[in-house]
Amino acid sequence: MLPHHAESLERMRRYFENEPGVLGLILGGSVARGNERPDSDLDALVVVTPERHAVLDAEGRISECVWGQCAYEGG
């Protein structure tokens, strides 16, 4: 993992740490596999409680992109 990916992952952790019902993050994609490029993005699943999932589902938000949290351009 490149330093800017590590910093961005830490930002992602901080972004979700105080969200209600968030249990954890699962990193996927090229960064998780170890074959990332400098311009690779971060792919993650956010694990939530059933109650939080019900709220997000009712809001149509069970799949989202979070922008503006990466430590590098294009991330």
Q: What is the pLDDT of residues 5-35, one digit of tens each?
A: 999 999 999 999 999 999 999 999 999 999 9
Q: How many whole angstroms separate alpha carbon 31 and alpha carbon 37? A: 8
Decide if 17 is inside a domain.
Answer: yes
> In terms of residue numbers, what domain contains 14?
3-58
> pLDDT digits over 40-58, tens only?
988 999 999 999 999 999 9
DSSP 8-state class, residue 59? T
Is the pLDDT assigned to residue 70 strictly greater than 90? no
Decide if 63 is inside a domain.
Answer: no
Alpha helix (H) ranges present in 1-75?
Answer: 3-17, 29-33, 50-58
Decide if 74 is inside a domain.
Answer: no
Decide if 13 is inside a domain.
Answer: yes
Domain count of the fold of the chain: 1
This prediction has a pTM of: 0.79
Decide if 69 is inside a domain.
Answer: no
